[in-house]
Amino acid sequence: MSDHQIGLTINGRRHVASVEGRMTLADMLRDDAGYTGVHLGCEHGVCGACTVIVDGRAVRSCLMLAVQADETEIKTVEGLAEPDGTLHPVQQTMREEHALQCGFCTPGVVMTLAALTSGNAQPSEESLLKALSGHICRCTGYQGIRRAAKRLAAAGSGDAA
C-alpha cells in the first residue's frame, strides 16, 4: 500500500503530491491541492458536482484515482476566471441567466459547459443540453441552466478553457 509520487498541472500551476493508490482525484484536488470548488455530492458518479476538465475533457473526478492523473493537465472552476476577476463566458452567462441557487452543483455544470465550448468548438444546442443530463441540480428546476446552455451554443464559442 505504498504511496505514489505524482506530478501534474492544475489550473496552470505545477503540483506534486504523494498519494495513496486509493485516493480519488477529487479528494486530492480538494484536500491536498486546496481546490475546494470541486464539490463532492454522491461520490459514485451520479451527481456530476465533482466534474473537472482533464486534458481538455469533462470527467467525474470522484471516478478517477489521483494516481491516474499523473502528468495530466487539470482545470477546476478556480481556474476559469481571469486573474482580474473577469468571469469566464460560461460563468458570466450562467450568472445572467440565474442558473444557480444554492450553487452546490454549479462548479460541475460550469466545467462541462466550459469543456464543450472551449477553443473553436461550436457545440450544438442539443449536444450541450444532452451533456447537462450528467448533472443533478436540486434547486433550479434546470430552466436557468438550460437558458445559459442555449445562449452559449448560440454564441458559438467561449474562450480557452
Partner 1 sequence: MKPAPFDYVAPTTISEACQVLADAGGGATVLAGGQTLMPLLNLRMSQPFIVVDINRIPDLKGIARADGGTRVGPMTRQADALADETLAKHLPVMVRALSHVGHHQTRNRGTVGGSVALGEPAAEMPATAVALGATIEVQSTRGTRKIPADEFYLGPYMTTLEPDELVTAIHYPDWPAGHVMLFREVAQRPGDFALVGVVGALVVDGGSVSRAGIAWFGMGPTPIKARQAEQALVGQSLSGIDAQAIAELAVADTAPFDDHHATAEYRRTVGKRIFARTLREALQIKEAA
Binding site for partner 1 (CB under 8 A): 1-2, 4, 20-24, 27, 43-45, 48, 51, 57-60, 62-65, 67-68, 112, 116, 130-131, 133-134
Min CB(85)–partner 1 separation in Å: 28
Nearer to partner 1, 50 or 100 (CB): 50
Nearer to partner 1, 33 or 62 (CB): 62
- The label of the residue with cell 470541486 reads 38
Min CB(142)–partner 1 separation in Å: 12
Nearer to partner 1, 27 or 97 (CB): 27
Min CB(42)–partner 1 separation in Å: 9
| C-alpha distance from residue 95 to each of 100, 103, 130 (Å) | 8, 11, 21
- Cα–Cα distance, 122 to 106 (Å, whole number): 22
- Cα–Cα distance, 79 to 90 (Å, whole number): 13
Element (H, E) at 134: none
- Cα–Cα distance, 3 to 86 (Å, whole number): 39
Nearer to partner 1, 31 or 96 (CB): 31
